[in-house]
Amino acid sequence: MKQPLPLEGVRVLDISQVMAGPFACMLLGDLGADVIKIEPPGSGDQTRGAMGFKLKGADSLGFLNMNRNKRSIAVDLKTEAGKQVVLRLAKDADILVENYRPGAMRRLGLGYDVLKEVNPRLVYTSISGFGQTGPWADRPGFDLMAQAMSGVMSVTGYPDSPPVKCGVPVADIGCALFAVYATLAAYIGARNTGQGQYVDAALFDAAMAFSVWDICDYWGTGKPPQPLGTSNKMTAPYQAMAASDGHFVMGANNQKLWEKLCQLMRREDLLRDGRFATIALRLANRPALQDELEATFRTQPKDFWVELLLANGIPAGPILSYPEAFDSEHAAARGMKMEIEHPVEGRVNNIGFPVKLSATPQQVRRHPPLLGEHTREVLAEMGIGDEEFTRLRADGAFGA
């Protein structure tokens, strides 16, 4: 007998836009939760209109990759009628995720203080740039600001280069993942006690949580960490290296691998060089170490070195573009690119599930919703008939 998905029967209200909130809610939906996306009438989630190109319809490919397994209802939260719709939805919900500016939901009459009276077991998760408390709480928060103000940008790039942000939105995605872990923990607690709680997730906090090696280096030495390019502050050589036709990455990150590397490269002279005798000395003399190794690496193409190193147990790999990575045999074997059906786009590319469950694998049960596609369906499940629906619409619950 096929097992139900882990979160089957869990209802999530997704009152979020752009990335961290929608991505977190999609992960819950992938695991079986019934995710109801509550969007502003007319425009919907800002990401629907994002990116500099369009497919067949109005929704961006970015939106389609962060909102599968959801139903959409269009509700104007600024109207009393719209607020009443959300309050009724919250009564039977398990989780609510929102990412408005701190205090905005409270001003709308939909803060946790109100909703916990409606539903004491509700887990109410707020995602923001800098959290709900602290002197920066009222600042608009985006991934770029979180990377800059958390310290992430200070260690990204190369020494003496202009500021560089991480190429992927680490604060957004990191916050989404931390929010999911805390939300599910709170949900388990609510099932045990009948009492939900408030979850405060911030992009700033999430980005800072990634700083383990860097901040420990500072706390231990008193020296602020600096950008190292592709290098690593814990060991060397562990970085990108230049071959005759481009760069590859490799890591001889312990003494045994270092000795094997020198032998493979026929550079036993490096084993006798006092500058490179230990990891600490190799770290202290990293530029010279790179020069010595690249003098040999540049004599052969990158594929030669990757194959040689891997065949001898030394970690190495090519530097792939996103198209190359997603089209690789390994990405195909891992299911990291999939196509889903969409009523406007037809078959559309989606990023695959990032973790695999053996007994209850994630499923695409619903296409990314059209704006307001399920408004009538969801309200009917709440017991709202035609007459009441017409009254709510006349009162502006679903926009003009």
Q: What is the spatial distance between Cα 78 and Cα 334, in angstroms, rounded to a whole number?
A: 44
Q: Which residues contact 114 (CB under 8 A, 6 or more apart)?
A: 87, 106
Give the 3-state secondary structure of residue 377.
helix
Which strands sit side by side in the sheet containing 198-202, from one edge to the other?
Answer: 70-74, 34-39, 11-15, 95-98, 123-128, 198-202
Q: Which residues contact 127 (CB under 8 A, 6 or more apart)?
A: 16, 20, 21, 24, 97, 98, 99, 175, 176, 179, 201, 202, 203
**CB of 138 closer than 8 Å to CB of 210:** no
Q: What is the spatial distance between Cα 118 and Cα 114, in angstroms, rounded to a whole number?
A: 7
Could you please report the per-residue DSSP string of 168-211?
S-HHHHHHHHHHHHHHHHHHHHHHHHS---EEEEEHHHHHHHT-
Q: Which residues contact 85 (CB under 8 A, 6 or more apart)?
A: 73, 75, 379, 392, 397
Strand bridging mode 34-39 / 70-74:
parallel
**CB of 86 closer than 8 Å to CB of 111:** no
Q: Annotated catalytic, 172?
A: yes
Of the listed 34, 94, 143, 172, which one is catalytic? Answer: 172
Place of tokens 């970085």: 239
Secondary structure element (H or E) that encloses residue 115, with its range: helix 112-118
| Active site members | 172
